[in-house]
Amino acid sequence: MLETIISQGLKATGRRMTRTRKAVLSLLERTHEPLSASEIFAQLQEDQVTIDLVTVYRTVNVLKDLGLVAQLDLHHEGQSRYELKEGRKHHHHIRCQVCGKIVDLLLCPLKKLTKLIEERTKFVVGDHILEFTGFCPQCQ
Amino acid sequence: MLETIISQGLKATGRRMTRTRKAVLSLLERTHEPLSASEIFAQLQEDQVTIDLVTVYRTVNVLKDLGLVAQLDLHHEGQSRYELKEGRKHHHHIRCQVCGKIVDLLLCPLKKLTKLIEERTKFVVGDHILEFTGFCPQCQ
DNA sequence: ACCATTATTGCAAGTCTCTTGCAAGTAATA
DNA sequence: TATTACTTGCAAGAGACTTGCAATAATGGT
Ligand SMILES: [Mn+2]
Ligand SMILES: [Mn+2]
Ligand SMILES: [Zn+2]
Ligand SMILES: [Zn+2]
């Protein structure tokens, strides 16, 4: 169970499992789009969970430190989004530029390209971001 | 000449070529890395050009509207960067996570993938962003 | 070259996302 | 249950970017 896995990660780094961390985790677990801090905050308010926006930021940063959450900076959004990594593999996203809907692209075409780039640039390639925008079926 | 091309674009949209716009353009023209607004501001100060940071923001937005400048949102940078599109083709970037150096990748591997994504997601794909991070030759 | 028109600029203030300081609250361990 | 130290909420701050407005300057016609 996710909460158990994460409790271990927290404990291993001298941190504690708390009411608010459980609430953020459970929301991320049942949501299938990456959420921004303010969206997490708003949804938890709706769920009658007492939490401060500052705590949301601190919580997603802890989860990111533990490697349990990915932080996405989508083009021109001006805010980060967060999604659970646990149990999902590396992937990318496409976002509708009309309604904002975000869909997982369960692929990554960049393994070979990375090698080519390292040869050409003499960089050691670490990470990459890849994101598509367009019009979703409803907004065409 | 670039300034002539751009004067036409400005005029066609009821805008004017000004001292500050010339200064920003000439800086972007002679710079080979994408610049942030504050970098443009700082460099112009150094060049003895009197300009306000607000005007830099307004200028890059005008140039973006005219399709003459690309706005890049690099991962976790927290600020946008701008580069001239005029005379350069679509490409992507790699950034050194130590020193911040940004290098052009004169390639784009995403033509075929776009078609696949449209089939799978039923989105109409518009644009994409692709960026690599890593360690440049000096910082390894 | 001058004037009238209207876009542009600089300054101040505002917005938005995200971070930090600190006292009060609470989880973990014995 | 008592101790310890991590976590929280509130207030304040930082940084990127935007907006309101009066002063300034580019443009086009004379
Ligand atoms: Mn995803
Ligand atoms: Mn470039
Ligand atoms: Zn990938
Ligand atoms: Zn591309």
Chain A: give the shortest CA distance to residue B49, in Å.
Answer: 29
Q: What is the per-residue pLDDT across A7-56, written as a single tens digit (0 to 9) for each?
A: 899 999 999 999 999 999 999 999 989 999 999 999 999 999 999 999 99
Query: Does the pLDDT at position A1 exceed 80?
Result: no
Distance CA A93, CA A104 (A): 5
Site of tokens 């972007």: B28
Residue B31, pLDDT score: 94
- Express the helix, strand and coil content of chain A in percent, nearest 5 each: 45, 25, 35
Strand order in the sheet with A80-84: A35-36, A80-84, A69-73
In Å, how far is A140's CA from the nearest CA of chain B?
8
Q: Which three-class secondary structure state does DSSP give residue B77?
A: coil
Per-residue pLDDT of chain B (140 residues; tens, 9 = 90+): 788 888 889 999 999 999 999 999 999 999 989 999 999 999 999 999 999 999 999 999 999 999 999 999 998 899 999 999 988 899 999 999 999 999 999 989 898 899 999 999 999 999 999 999 999 999 99
pLDDT digits (tens, 9 = 90+) for A72-128: 999 889 999 999 998 889 999 999 999 999 999 998 989 889 999 999 999 999 999
Q: Quick one: pLDDT at residue B100?
A: 92
Say whether the CB atom of A55 is under 7 angstroms from strand D: yes
Interface residue of A91, A101, A123 to substitute, partner B, most B CBs within 10 Å: A123
User: Can you list the alpha helix ranges (DSSP code H) found in A15-52?
Assistant: 19-30, 37-46
Phi, then psi, of A83 in degrees rounded to 5: -145, 150
Q: What is the pLDDT of residue A75?
A: 87
Averaged pLDDT of chain A: 94
Nucleotide closest to residue A15 (CA–C1'): D6
Check whether A60 has a pLDDT greater than 90. Answer: yes
Indicate the pTM of the whole model: 0.92
Quote the minimal CA–CA distance from A124 to chain B in Å.
Answer: 5
pLDDT higher than 90, residue A3: no
Give the number of the ligand closest to the Cα of residue A130: 3
Report CB contact under 8 Å: A117, B94.
Answer: yes
Rounded to an integer, what distance in angstroms lies between the CA atom of residue B42 and that of residue B48? 10
Residue B111 pLDDT: 86
pLDDT, position B73: 92
Q: Which domains does chain B have, with CATH numbers?
A: 1-86 (1.10.10.10), 89-140 (3.30.1490.190)
CA of A135 to the centre of ligand 1 (A): 18
Both tokens assigned to B98 = 């130590």
Mention every residue, 6+ apart, whose C-beta is less than 8 A from residue A130: A92, A108, A110, B128, B129, B130
Ligand 4: centre distance to CA A130 (Å): 9
pLDDT in tens, A116-127: 999 999 999 999
Residue A37: per-residue pLDDT: 98
- Who among A73, A103, A105 is closest to B75 (CB)? A73
B97 CB less than 7 Å from any atom of strand D: no
Distance B127 CA to ligand 4 centre (A): 8
